[in-house]
Structure 1
Amino acid sequence: MIKHLDEQEVIELIDKEADIIIPIGNGEPHRLLDILEGNYLKLENVTVHQMLALTKRNYISGEMKGHLTHKSYFLSGATREAYYDGHVELVPNVFHDVPRLLKKTTKMSMIMAVASPMDEHGYFSLGTGADYIAEFIGHVPFMLEVNAHMPRTFGKNQIHISQIVGYVENDLALAEVKSPPVTEKDLAIAKFVIDEIEDGDTLQVGIGSVPNAVMAMLKDHRNLGIHTEMLTDSIVDLVAAGAVTGTNKLTHKGKIIATFAYGTQCLYDFVHQNPAVEFLPVSEVNDPREIAKEERIVSINATTEIDLYGQCASETVAGRYYSSTGGQADFAQGVRFAKHGKGFICMYSTAKDDTISRIQTQLTPGSVVTTSKNAVDNIVTEYGIAKLYGKSLKERANALIDIAHPKFREELRFNAQKYGIL
């Protein structure tokens, strides 16, 4: 008989040297993690595996080594400092491959996740996501933290009470992230992208002010589709404007497809019991082969730095690790395989009050390439679009210099000639 678990019962279900998998964002079970931390001396060499942790914790900062430690697959504000201090390990990955990676490299001892309350049929919903855990339902032990604030959603994120080892309850408001303000630079970049998007296209958009600006300008478009790893508030506004119907999609026609949602309460209210939204495992949503089935897929993402070859460093800042690869590489490949796919990687031309060019002759030492020169399609700054696909190295360099900030163009051209690029 599946039952409500008390603190001691939770701990008794954790094996020595267990690998515990925690989902992304609001799937993070705060009470269950509190129980693990509160009883850490009873644990032996237990590792928590997670992308995008929400909460800074003692085990993340290395205070419970030998008992409870953290392994990250995407750094966040909760883990970045601990990573710099050497307390967190970071595993390289592309998002769609994380389930396979976990299956091959961990014991998959237990998955702990937040879920909506059970319905009359005995099913819980994983709510704001499916991400890298949903495909293991029925195959790996699940322990749930039932939260009445978690929306009930649809897709491949339903779990029956017979498929869990037990649950705890925790009435906790979901974490929210508000959209950053849109600047003049964002609007300038967005205008270039908008000119490339047609009625009936299917969109993948990341988080940030540029994607928000793009989405705000699409309200007069019609029959757009959504196939994106992360669902944001900007998509809610686009649906309300009548721009999104999904009727031209070739897969999941009429459905908004995502693998997780992260935004404000407005977004969580939108996905609650909304049959138009389906959350699917990231191994499906982000698989480049699945992405490419949408022949008119348009991907909009961001980077922090690019060199004149077209290599995008999107997970490091000034040569230091900041996040991880996420799904950018997945969609860069996916749109390349799609019949009429288009990929846009956006960035401001400069940083630090126009003192640093984000377009560099060579990447800053220590930078990590997220999207390779072979996968990149279009680069957009407030000065225009550099269309790189099929271009020679010389043509790429010239196109990128043309969209750099004017104060850096002469220097970039000089250095490109110095290193034999031009």
Structure 2
Amino acid sequence: MPAPVPPEAVLDLLTPGADVIVPLANGEPTAVMDAIEAGADGLKGVRVHQMHALHDRPYLHGAHGDRLTHVSYFLSHVTRPAYWDGTIDLVPNNFSEVPLLLQRCTDCTVVVAAASPPDRHGYFSLGTNADYVTSLIGRVPFFLEATPHMPRTHGANTLHHSQVVGWCESDRPLLEVPRAEARTADRAIGELVAERIPDGATIQIGIGSIAAAVLDALRGHRDLGVHTELLHDGVVDLVEAGVVTGVEKEVRRNRIAATFCLGTKRLYDWLDGNAVVEMLGVDFVNDPRVIARMKRFASVNATTEVDLIGQCASETVAGRYWSSSGGQADFARGAMYAEEGQAFIVTPSLTRDGRSRIVPTLTEGSVVTTLKNTVDHVVTEHGVAELRGRSLAERARALIAIADPSVRDDLTRGAVEKGFLR
């Protein structure tokens, strides 16, 4: 097995115009990226492609001009200001399609990724990540950064040392994202969603305070399965409580399928060597055709604004880009085709500053993430609006009924003005 090399060795792979693929979140190899940035004066037209970066770096803010630039596929708290300032690009996408976009629209020069140290058989594990890079194994050169803090996970995210063009070592810890505390409205939404999810269902749930509330409300359920893009601490609680077993799943039975993990050290320690979790590529996990094969599939995702015909703007706030589409539409469409499938779009009825999230017309500049034809249930703390198969007038009435009481009269007038109600 080849010996580790300094992180700077990656610079030998960065030819002019190179496209560097970096996994999202904790999949980013920090020492390797430090070396790339330190050597930026010798680069020419190198682009870094990544979703949801968690480490702030000067090149994100234009420090190296066009020698080293960033292309985002999902904005984070780090890359959001850079996008607003015009120093990075953003590519629209559904998460399931990112591997295909990278293969068709970039040169995929090299993947640089964090990994667990090699095992006695010479295999590295990408640990918390499979995401869009797993599909590139065997097709694109990989340069890895092995850290003892990365859990060794099972699934499709392992590489033999013969598939790696180089690897280095570091002792960098993983970033932690604590579980969000649920508020009163969140808990009400959680109860409304959980009571509609039957025992034996397979679930996908995002992250945040409402997701935490939904998971808490599912503690009385039995034999749930998990097939989700993001795995976080709340799922661990359900596994340890015996709620999640996966025995009724049609796809990857008895296993939890995920494409990336983000949470606390408790989650990372739980993942290490845990064969019940399979880390699989996003082009499998988020594929609506795969999701549709699972009976009683339930998808739960948040939005920022819903208009009176059910269009959900989930990637903009007040008409300004905030994130990207992620996997919301992937799972909503998959659940739509699944036998007894359900998709829930969840949101508090009001923003923190008291504005209604249910509006007659989406705010100017807002971007539709989930189409009205796909949206199934919209849930606030005031109830559930069932939209599938309903007329425009029925949709408007259902959505007004779950809006905050203080705005229902205004929404009704807006619906009349738009011609949805007469």
Q: TM-score range with shorter-chain normalisation? A: over 0.9
Look up the match of 2:303. Answer: 303
Partner of 1:367: 366
**SS at 2:340's partner residue?**
coil
Q: Deviations along 1:127-149, whole A, 9 cap, x unmatched?
A: 00100001111110000000000
Contact 2:8 2:32 in 1 (8 A): no
* Conserved? CA contact 1:301–1:345, under 8 Å: yes
CA offsets, 1:63-94, max 9 Å, x none? 11121100000000111111001001000000
Instruction: Give the superposition deviation at 1:7.
Output: 4.6
> Structure 2: how far apart are the matches of 1:241 and 1:204?
18
Structure 1 partner of 2:380: 381
Q: Deviations over 1:153-176 (max 9, x none)?
A: 000001000001001111011001
- Any idea what the Cα deviations from partners look like across 1:104-150, whole Å, max 9, x if unmatched? 00000000000000001110000001000011111100000000000
Aligned to 1:211: 211
CA distance in 2, matches of 1:353, 1:381: 16
Q: Cα deviations across residues 296-339 of structure 1 (Å, max 9, x unaligned)?
A: 11001100000001000000000000000000010010000101
Q: TM-score, normalised by structure 1?
A: 0.99
Counterpart Cα distance in 2 of 1:119 and 1:130? 18
* Equivalent position of 1:60 in the other structure: 60
Unaligned stretches of 5+ in structure 2? none
In the alignment, structure 1 residue 126 sits paired with structure 2 residue 126: yes
Structure 2 distance, partners of 1:359, 1:157, is 41
AA of the residue aligned to 1:379: V
Aligned residues of 2:8 and 2:36 also touching (Cα < 8 A): no
Matched, 1:71 2:100: no
In structure 2, what is the Cα distance between the partners aligned to 1:313 and 1:142? 36
TM-score by length of 2: 0.99
> What secondary structure sits across from 2:15 in the alignment?
coil
CA distance in 1, matches of 2:278, 2:62: 37
Which aligned pairs between 1:165-176 and structure 2 lie closer than 5 A? Answer: 165-176=165-176
Contact 1:2 1:164 in 2 (8 A): no
Partner of 2:154: 154
Question: Could you tell me which residue of structure 2 aligns to residue 81 of structure 1?
Answer: 81
Provide the secondary structure at the position in 2 that maps to 1:143: strand
Please give the alpha-carbon distance, in whole angstroms, between the structure 2 residues aligned to 1:390 and 1:15.
53
Distance in 2, Cα, partners of 1:120 & 1:253: 29
Matches within 5 A, 1:7-406: 7-354=7-354, 356-406=355-405
Question: How many angstroms apart in 2 are the aligned matches of 1:55 and 1:294?
Answer: 36
Deviates more, 1:64-73 or 1:283-292: 64-73
Shift of the alpha carbon at 1:8? 4.5
Specify the code of the residue in structure 2 equivalent to 1:203.
I
- 2:335 is aligned with what amino acid? V
| 3-state secondary structure, aligned to 1:350 | coil
Matched, 1:416 2:415: yes
Q: Could you say what secondary structure the match of 1:37 adopts?
A: helix
Distance apart, 1:415 and its partner CA: 1.0
The structural deviation recorded for 1:211 is 1.1
* Per-residue CA distance 1:42-67 (angstroms, 9 max, x = gap): 11110000000011111111111121
Q: Unaligned 5+ residue runs, structure 1?
A: none
Three-state SS of the structure 1 residue aligned to 2:144 is: strand
1:217 Cα deviation from its structure 2 partner: 1.7
Q: How many pairs does the alignment contain?
A: 421
Indicate conservation of the 8 Å contact 2:180/2:208, yes or no.
yes
Distance 1:276 1:4 in 2: 31
Alpha-carbon contact 1:2-1:165 (below 8 Å) kept: no
Q: 184-193 or 107-116, which moves further after superposition? A: 184-193
Amino acid at match of 1:416: A
Counterpart of 1:295, as a letter, is K
Give the distance between the partners of 2:173 and 2:273, measured in 1 at CA.
18
Return the letter of the residue paired with 1:212.
A
Once the 2 structures are TM-superposed, how far is the Cα of residue 179 of structure 1 from its aligned partner? 1.2
2:73 match: secondary structure: strand
Letter in 1 for 2:58: N
Check the 8 A contact 1:383/1:405 in 2, yes or no.
yes
Shift of 1:409: 0.3
Calculate the aligned-residue CA RMSD, in Å: 0.9
The aligned amino acid for 1:403 is: I
Write the letter of the residue equivalent to 1:13: L
Q: Distance in 2 between matches of 1:358 and 1:71?
A: 30
**What amino acid is the match of 2:416?**
Q
Q: Distance in 1 between matches of 2:297 and 2:183?
A: 26
